[in-house]
Every structure is written in structure tokens, then in C-alpha cells.
């Protein structure tokens, strides 16, 4: 039973869909940001970025990814940047089935402004250039995200997704 990795931009719905998919398949669910926070003794993602910098965060992020045991019936919601650093996307592809949740920057912006989630150091809701930032990151990161085994639109229902992936698991 391959682990399933959800990749994509922040706010694309990895954590939300990941939990639903895990329930549907009777898999366990993990969120790599939560694993990082636990490893760092409960510090927030913002605190890690501010105190130790992004490079340190990316080290821990990659370390955490490598602690995920292959074949353990897990749905893994990754952090938005994870596939784009170190050799993470290669490791994800080697050890699991990967799904890119493809959501356009305009829709990501809409979700970010609608929902009050402030633990995203790279995407500030008060920033007037947030849309530009999302567009730039989306363009830069697509190279990595599109290496996923499957690409789906963000609003895909869990029943439909389960049907699409059952033959790969
Ligand atoms: N398919 C969807 N349609 C509309 N809103 C969504 C959808 N999926 C997630 N959201 C909302 O967008 C926000 C970010 O979702 P989340 O699952 O945390 O994204 P990610 O883990 O990719 O950053 C949440 O507030 C969630 O309720
Ligand atoms: O896009 C990024 O580089 C990041 C996305 C976040 O995860 P989500 O995609 O779950 O928001 C989190 O890992 C960190 O703030 C960095
Ligand atoms: Mg998340």
C-alpha cells in the first residue's frame, strides 16, 4: 500500500482533501507542517522562519519527509514548498503515489483572504502584492508539482479522486 502525497500551493486544499481522502480509504493522515512543529517542540512555522530562517526550515522539512516510512497506508499533506527543495520531489515519487492539486493563483488568493490563517510566513494576507507573489511562486513551482503522478483540479470530490487512484495503490 503506497503512501499518497498531496502536493501543491498553499491554500490549494492539501490538508482539507488529504483528511477526507484518508477517511475514505481508511488510511492514516499526516501533515508535514505538523510533524515539523512537533519536531521543533511546538514552535510555530512563523517562529521557525523568523528565528532560524527559511534554509533551516527546509532542512527540517526534508528530514521530516525522510522519516515517513514507505508503504504505511498514509495520506501525507505536504507543505507548499516541500517538492521544490533538496531532492524532496524525487523522494516523494520513489516512495509513494503523488497528486498535484492544481488551483489557480486567483483562487488561492481568494481562499487566503477569506480564511484567517496567519501561520504562513511566505504569504502575508496584508501584503498588497500577495497575488503577484502567488503568481510568481505558482510559475516557479509548477516544474516540481507537475512531476506528480496525477494532476487534479482543486475542487475534485474525494469519491471521484478515490476512483481515479485505486488502480495505482
Ligand atoms: N475545495 C475547496 N474549496 C473551497 N475552499 C477550500 C477547498 N479546499 C480547502 N479550502 C479552504 O482553503 C483553506 C486552505 O485549505 P488547506 O487544506 O489548509 O490548504 P493547504 O493545506 O493546501 O495549504 C482552508 O480554509 C479550507 O477550508
Ligand atoms: O509554500 C511554502 O513554501 C510553505 C507552505 C506552508 O504549507 P501549506 O502549503 O500547507 O500552507 C508551510 O510549509 C510553510 O509556510 C512554507
Ligand atoms: Mg496545509
Give me the residue spans of the domains in the chain. 3-160
With 90 as the cut, is the pLDDT of residue 58 above it? yes
By DSSP bridging, strand 74-77 and strand 3-7 are parallel
Q: What is the pLDDT of residues 21-34, one digit of tens each?
A: 999 999 999 999 99
- The annotation status of 154 as a binding-site residue, yes or no, is no
ipTM > 0.95 for the complex: yes
Give the C-alpha separation, 11 to 97, whole Å: 21
Q: Which ligand is nearest to the CA of 58?
A: 2
For residue 141, is pLDDT > 80?
yes
Residue nearest to atom 7 of ligand 2 (CA): 79
Q: In this structure, are residues 2 and 168 in contact, taking their beta carbons and an 8 Å threshold?
A: yes
Per-residue confidence (pLDDT) for residue 20, from 0 to 100: 96
For ligand 2, is residue 18 a contact (CB within 6 Å)? no
Q: Where are the extended beta strands (E) located within 11-65?
A: 28-31
Domain 3-160, CATH class in plain words: alpha beta
CB 82 within 8 A of CB 33: no
Amino acid at each position: 500500500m503506497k503512501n499518497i502525497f498531496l502536493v501543491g500551493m498553499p491554500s490549494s486544499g492539501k490538508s482539507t482533501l488529504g483528511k477526507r481522502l484518508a477517511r475514505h480509504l481508511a488510511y492514516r493522515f499526516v501533515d508535514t507542517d505538523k510533524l515539523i512543529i512537533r519536531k521543533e517542540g511546538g514552535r510555530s512555522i512563523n517562529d521557525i522562519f523568523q528565528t532560524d530562517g527559511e534554509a533551516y526550515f527546509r532542512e527540517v522539512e526534508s528530514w521530516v519527509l525522510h522519516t515517513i516510512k514507505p508503504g504505511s497506508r498514509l495520506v501525507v499533506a505536504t507543505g507548499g514548498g516541500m517538492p521544490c527543495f533538496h531532492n524532496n520531489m524525487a523522494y516523494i515519487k520513489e516512495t509513494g503515489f503523488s497528486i498535484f492539486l492544481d488551483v489557480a493563483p486567483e483562487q488561492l488568493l481568494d481562499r487566503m483572504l477569506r480564511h484567517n490563517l496567519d501561520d504562513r510566513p511566505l504569504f502575508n494576507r496584508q501584503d498588497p502584492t500577495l497575488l503577484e507573489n502567488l503568481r510568481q511562486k505558482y510559475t516557479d513551482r509548477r516544474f516540481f508539482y507537475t512531476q506528480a503522478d496525477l494532476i487534479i483540479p482543486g475542487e475534485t470530490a474525494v469519491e471521484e479522486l478515490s476512483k481515479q487512484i485505486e488502480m495505482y495503490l
